[in-house]
Amino acid sequence: MLGPAVRTVPHGKERQLPHRTTRPVHFIRYRVALRADLTRREQGDWKATGRALRTEREYEELRCGKKASLGNFKCDANHWLVFATLWNLGITELSSEELADLFDWFCPCRKDHLLDALKNQRARFRKVVTKAHEWG
């Protein structure tokens, strides 16, 4: 008999990923919304299929208690999460100097932050957020 935590999937039905946990990881890693990749996967896009499968594999590794390889992000994950956390709280309005001061104080990497690098990261993050909103 299957325990209460085990779910069976009817034949022919694809199990859905828990998007509340996989969407942020997928988005941070690939700068593409998971929903967009799943749509492209249905249309036969091989690269989108590979990205979605990697996200699913890593979720399953975590769920099953195996160590997941969550490296190889296209960005500094610490900085990305700071931008994501503070995006709607005024970080977009800060000058380069204020942004560097904020990161020196708030960022978990505890490194000195360069003005131009943060300015460029903020611009890339803005572009990705805009792109993600297009996909809803």
Tell me whether residue 13 is in a domain. no
Residue 115 shares a structural domain with residue 93: yes
Rounded to an integer, the average pLDDT of 100-108 is 86
Same domain, 87 and 48: no
Categorize the per-residue pLDDT at 3 as very low, low, confident or very high, splitting at 50, 70 and 90: very low
Please state, in angstroms and as integers, the Cα–Cα distance from residue 82 to each residue in 8, 52, 98, following that order: 38, 24, 14
Work out the mean pLDDT of the chain and round it to a whole number. Answer: 78
**Per-residue pLDDT at 20:** 67
DSSP 87-128: GGGTGGG--HHHHHHHHHHH-TT-----HHHHHHHHHHHHHH
Residue 97 resides in a domain: yes
Neighbours of 4 (CB within 10 A): 5
CA dihedral 126, 129, 131, 134 (to 10 degrees): -130
Quick one: pLDDT at residue 2?
34
In a domain, 1, yes or no: no
Q: Is residue 111 part of a domain?
A: yes
Range of the domain at 106: 77-135
Report the pLDDT value the prediction gives residue 37, as an integer from 0 to 100. Answer: 92
In a domain, 51, yes or no: yes
* HSE-CB of 7 using CA atoms within 13 angstroms: 7
How confident is the model at residue 70, as a pLDDT? 63
Would 109 be classed as within a structural domain?
Answer: yes
Q: What is the mean pLDDT of residues 101-120?
A: 86
Count of domains for the chain: 2
100 within domain boundaries: yes
Residue predicted with more confidence, 45 or 7:
45
Q: Considering the domain boundaries, does residue 85 fall inside one?
A: yes
Q: Above pLDDT 90, what percent of the chain?
A: 13
Q: What is the pLDDT of residues 14-65, one digit of tens each?
A: 555 566 678 877 877 887 888 889 999 999 999 999 999 988 888 888 778 7
Residues 49 and 94 in one domain: no
Same domain, 48 and 97: no
pLDDT digit string, tens, across residues 60-95: 887 787 765 565 566 677 888 888 888 888 888 889
Residues 6+ apart with CB under 8 A from 136: 35
Count of other CB atoms within 10 angstroms of residue 33: 19
